[in-house]
Amino acid sequence: MNYVKAASSAFAATSAALLIWAVALTPRAPGVGWNPVRVPTLLTQPLFWALAILMFGALFVASRLSRRIPRILLFWAPTVALSTLGLSVLALGVYAWIHS
């Protein structure tokens, strides 16, 4: 079960870092929206990976809590929500790529 928790923490942390980067840290230019073409260049940014590692650490520590209610609130709820968001954005990108 520890491997599943670590893998889900890693995927959720990467999704959270991508979401935080896209919403808060991307410079805004008038008339230009956030596009998925920048994602490969984003994966080479050290700040992105530092944010992802920080999120992974927080989620992994939350997964190791011994009490049930804090573990559900601090690990399972954010992990499931962020993983669902990450998979849905990925599916939307694949759908748009196939139908373009």
Q: What is the pLDDT of residues 36-86, one digit of tens each?
A: 666 777 788 898 899 999 999 999 999 999 999 999 999 999 999 999 988
Look up the pTM and report it: 0.77
**Helix (H), strand (E) counts: the chain:** 5, 0
> CA 39, 43, 45, 48 torsion: positive or negative?
positive
CA nearest neighbour of 53 among 97, 14, 83, 7: 14
What integer is the mean pLDDT of 15-34? 72
What was the pLDDT predicted at 32? 53
pLDDT surpassing 80 at residue 23: no
Of 32 and 95, the one with more pLDDT: 95
pLDDT of residue 71: 92
Hey, how many other C-beta atoms are within 10 angstroms of the C-beta on 14? Answer: 21
